[in-house]
Amino acid sequence: MKNYSLLKNNSNHFINALAALVFFLLSIVAEAKAQSYSLRSNTDKPFSLRLHTGAQGQGALVQYTGQKEIIPLRLKSLKNNVVKKIASTTFIWEEIYRGKVTGSYGLTKTADQISNIWYQRNKDGKRFVLSPVVKPEGSQEDDKVLLHNVLFTFNSSVDDNLTIKYPNGKQTIQELHGFDNPNASRNCLINDYNFDGYQDLAFSIPDAGMGVYRIFSIWLYNPETKRFEALKEPDYSKSKCSELCDVTIDPKKKLLYSACRGGARWWQDVYKFDKNKKMIWVKSAELTNP
């Protein structure tokens, strides 16, 4: 009986740990979408701002109401937590104003709700409690991500335009993949996709069929020109996928993976970058457990 109780307890611990892992992974997937929050201080003379952040708190910035200036935020910490099968993520960013850390921001995100939102000013240590500003139902606002001091403006669900604005004021307008499903959303991810030591930016939307995988478009940062360039896609003649889909990377092996479904079968294409940063097909294989 004692051994049975021990086995039962171990089984319960395993189930709880597995559930925590599942909810943790789900929270990471949810954070692939860029987030924008309108916030207001709870003070006698309130101020308001809009906080934008990319996937997993990267590429964040704030813009105060009535101000044109963009203030970069540097991710200081990210903590995932699961309590009673409810996953939450707590972010803390440092405010970088004219090259100096002048304050910090924090919030906790649970599903689509945010709480414990604050701004702390460094010069006097004063902390301001912030609250979300409720927007009219159906209103749409652009999302923004700041990467290498370059501002990206786009919309996660309405249109396909991507505006890229550089520090000198020059800007270009690019076109992203268009939506086939009006209820779909655009994800935004930051990774070093060509393994050159610099973070790049990717966008993805569901495929036009059943929506079981996502189509990617990637912008690579060029450290020499300090510009972002659309990834020149590879020759797909040997690939199983005709586009870059469900992209993942292996930084250690310096390989990029693309996975898609054709009929009832899942396929994976593997790519590498040559010395000229050209994307080269390596191999393709069927995925038995996608």
What is the pLDDT averaged over residues 206-212?
83
CB atoms within 10 A of CB 12: 10
pLDDT value of residue 165: 97
The answer to whether 174 and 204 have CB atoms below 8 angstroms apart is no
What is the pLDDT averaged over residues 185-192?
93
Cα–Cα distance, 46 to 206 (Å, whole number): 40
Burial classification of residue 75, based on how many CB atoms lie within 10 Å of its CB (0-12 exposed, 13-18 middle, 19 or more buried): middle
Domain ranges of the chain: 1-138, 182-290
What is the pLDDT averaged over residues 120-147?
90
- Calculate the average pLDDT of the chain: 88
Q: Is 60 exceeded by the pLDDT of residue 21?
A: no
pLDDT value of residue 4: 46
Cα–Cα distance, 187 to 156 (Å, whole number): 7
pLDDT value of residue 27: 41
Residues 166, 172, 176, 178, CA torsion sign? positive
Q: What are the φ/ψ torsions at residue 96 (nearest 5 degrees)?
A: -110, 105
pLDDT value of residue 31: 54
Cα–Cα distance, 284 to 194 (Å, whole number): 19
Q: Structurally, what CATH architecture does the domain formed by 1-138 represent? A: Beta Barrel (2.40)
